[in-house]
Amino acid sequence: MSGNVKTPGISSRLEEALKDLAKGCVLCKVKSGKRSFRRQFYVDFQNMSLKHETHRKAGFCRRPADYVDLYDVEEIRTGWNTDVFNQIEADARKKGKTSSLFPNDKCFSLVINATHLTLDLVAPTKEKRDLWVEGLRHLLAMCQNVQREEEYNRWLKEQFRRADKNNNGSLNFKECLALLSQLNISMDKGHAQKLFDEANFRKLKLDNEDALDPEEFVRFFHSLQSRPDAEQLFNEYNANNSTIMGPEELMNFLHNEQKMTKITIDDCKNLIERYEPDKSKLEGYLSLRGFIQMLLSKDHAIFALEHNFVFQDMNQPLCNYYIASSHNTYLTQDQLLGDSSVEGYNRALEQGCRCVELDCWDGPDDEPLVYHGYTLTSKVLFRDILDAIKQTAFKVSQFPVILSLENHCSVKQQIKMAEHLVNILGEYLHTDPVKPEETELPSPAALARKILIKNKKLSDVSQTRPEDSDSEEDLPDAMKDGNKLARDKPKTDGKLAVELSELVNYVKACSFKGFEEAKKKWKFYEMASFQETKAETFATENGKEYVEYNKRHLSRIYPKGSRTDSSNYDPVHFWNVGCQIVALNYQTYDESMFINQAMFAQNGGCGYVLKPEFLRKGVDYDPARPPIEKYKETLIIKVISGQHIPKPDEDFEGEVIDPYVVVEVKGHASDETKHSTTYVQNNGFNPRWNETFTIPLNLPQIAIIMFTVKDESKYGKNMVLGRYAIPYMAMAEGYRHIHLLNDFRQSIIPATLFVHIIKQKYK
């Protein structure tokens, strides 16, 4: 975009916003500790960066600290939605002030990709804030579109490099045939020769053989890349079978197919400007290529746009939320010989985890240690872990973190633990006792940027022996009684230090002696931990009681001790009865962890997801009885096609694959089902299935839909080629692309599935 920001075809409102960004405006730049500076900000369109003047002198400072590259920005947030603004607001509330120095409706923030650091700004008026946010979000979407193109081009260059066996900068026909095999394309040799000849417009010859240079290779590649599914859709909505689509036709498509009914003509003009790569955008029209670019964008992914942000009510009691939780967070590998490391806490918290575990034992020099008891795992200082937690606790989410202490320390070292918790965590540590007038747990919003301690608690401060609570000492026999891998069992006195007890408030660990006792005697802040086997029994045999318990109290589920390989149980069974803290081994990338990360990707990835209505107070729900009629829906999925499906393990060698798609529902027992397409023979490049599955769902609110692409094998195992999982409630309707992931939930660029989604009330 040029500096004069003259962009025919866009809305007048957006044009005004872009001109204002170029002109600049005095904004208040806010830093931690309530420090703020007034600076002249403006957008440098040539370099796509937001810059500001320095205080010391006129003119523009070119130091990196004085500009933000818009290609590095992840999102634009409005209001008090960053650590800096939330801390300032929390401080204001503590002082009894009802209004902040920085009004919510004038604030906005730029979140930086890799670091999650923020640039926090305050506009002079709400109107100016809204204008700048609209313009910046438009530029951000354009940058993301360019990045997606660049990623694709890098991938394309890698294909050329791999195919160029003799490194002469060109591809002969034999090399192109080898490339087709690498790209999972089985093609008649005559047809391949025809496409090769059509692309070879320069008639380059090397060693008396026709050859394609890089530009011709791109033409050859694009001739392979036809998208008849998208082209048919495009032709249905463009006027008079032309090669371009205007704003009115685009609006009809978005309203009718994508269910984006709030989109206006002006919005469509802006979308054309954002996605159209050809000169036709200067006339306000969208080509087929631009249409496909739009469909491949984040705006049209299967994951609904609103779920990229915190949009749920965060003012309900903690027990009304699923909470992303880690088991044995300190481990990086298995539970017998693996390393204990602070890095496990960094990784978990940066993935949005909100409950982490510390297995605490007496250490030398009166310094408590964290490690996996009775095994040969390495050890790490308790205080070092707290240092790491303080740095990363609120890096990606402002909502509370729970430290689940598995406490095996002597009273003396518990006092040291309490000292470190207070001194290191400082103001983050929530130390206020439960107020007598409180009757339910506080909300995530009320506890923003606070750390809670889950541990046993003395019922009387004169005591040193706590009430019983369930512990995780459910070790396999192989790890007990002198097994050569086991350490001698450290000696503890079973007592609890008053200093540590006083830090426990809303997450008091208690021994579970039955649902009836909990209902009659427990306070709302008392909770229990359940080993997976026991929890499974309760969920199956006492489902209604378990649901009712979880409406008032927190429950933590942890893996059975025999999982020495750090494998995970299926978390869905426990979410189904409302269990909140379903703790998994984050260091293990298995299907359970894949589902867990899909679950907590929604609601902005903040680590808290509001439970469905029937798992909260006010609804009589029994998992064993027929589901409630009003919640039933029907999901209709059409699996249309695939693009660039990789070979197993993303390898380039081996046979061309025969891909098929498995659609699986995880959720209520009556909803769990699998559907498979037929396989497409010898085509992973652009396979087409066009198969539709109609799936009735009794409780869609707790359903998770899994898409798995596999290779049909006549002889061995059908290997997984890519997968994706998404909560039903986060699925967008219409024509959507699914960007496939590997087992580590990393994107397999540029592999996608193209699907059509319909949600409707059950008939």
Instruction: Set out the domains of the chain in order of their start, with CATH numbers.
Output: 12-55+63-146 (2.30.29.30), 150-224 (1.10.238.10), 228-300 (1.10.238.10), 318-456+496-615 (3.20.20.190), 633-761 (2.60.40.150)
| H/E stretch holding 291 | helix 288-295
Active-site positions read: 327, 372
pLDDT at 631 over 50: yes
Which two tokens mark 343? 């890095």
pLDDT for the residue 476:
39
Give the count of alpha carbons within 13 A of 598, CB side only. 33
Which two tokens mark 558? 């942890």
The string of pLDDT tens digits covering residues 695-735 is 999 999 999 999 999 999 877 789 999 999 999 999 999 99
Give percent of the chain above pLDDT 90. Answer: 54
Confidence category of residue 470, pLDDT binned at 50, 70, 90: low
Nearest to 565, CA basis, from 356, 328, 327, 336:
336
CA dist 228 and 556 (Å) reads 50
Residues whose CB is less than 8 angstroms from the CB of residue 331 and which lie 6 or more positions away in sequence, other chains included? 338, 339, 340, 344, 372, 377, 566, 585, 587
Beta-strand ranges (E) seen in 444-544 are 451-454, 508-509, 526-531
CA dist 660 and 561 (Å) reads 37
CA dist 519 and 53 (Å) reads 62
Give the count of alpha carbons within 13 A of 458, CB side only. 17
CA dist 748 and 722 (Å) reads 8
Residue that the structure tokens 């403006």 belong to: 42
CB 493 within 8 Å of CB 389: no
The string of pLDDT tens digits covering residues 563-575 is 877 889 999 999 9
CA dist 479 and 487 (Å) reads 9
pLDDT for the residue 241:
72
pLDDT at 469 over 50: yes
Strand, coil or helix: 112: strand
Rounded to 5 degrees, what angle do the CA atoms 412, 418, 424 make?
130
Residues whose CB is less than 8 angstroms from the CB of residue 315 and which lie 6 or more positions away in sequence, other chains included? 443, 445, 446
- 3-state DSSP helix/strand/coil % of the chain, to nearest 5: 35, 25, 40
Beta-strand ranges (E) seen in 388-494 are 401-407, 451-454
pLDDT for the residue 60:
45
Confidence category of residue 750, pLDDT binned at 50, 70, 90: confident
The string of pLDDT tens digits covering residues 256-274 is 999 999 999 999 998 998 8
Residue that the structure tokens 């869905």 belong to: 572
CA dist 65 and 54 (Å) reads 10
Residue that the structure tokens 């942890």 belong to: 558
pLDDT at 376 over 70: no
pLDDT for the residue 97:
64
The string of pLDDT tens digits covering residues 414-435 is 999 999 999 999 999 999 999 9
Confidence category of residue 466, pLDDT binned at 50, 70, 90: low
| H/E stretch holding 234 | helix 228-237
pLDDT at 491 over 60: no
pLDDT for the residue 64:
44
Phi, psi of 185 (to 5 degrees): -115, 120
Which two tokens mark 421? 């918790």
| DSSP-derived secondary structure letter, 185 | B
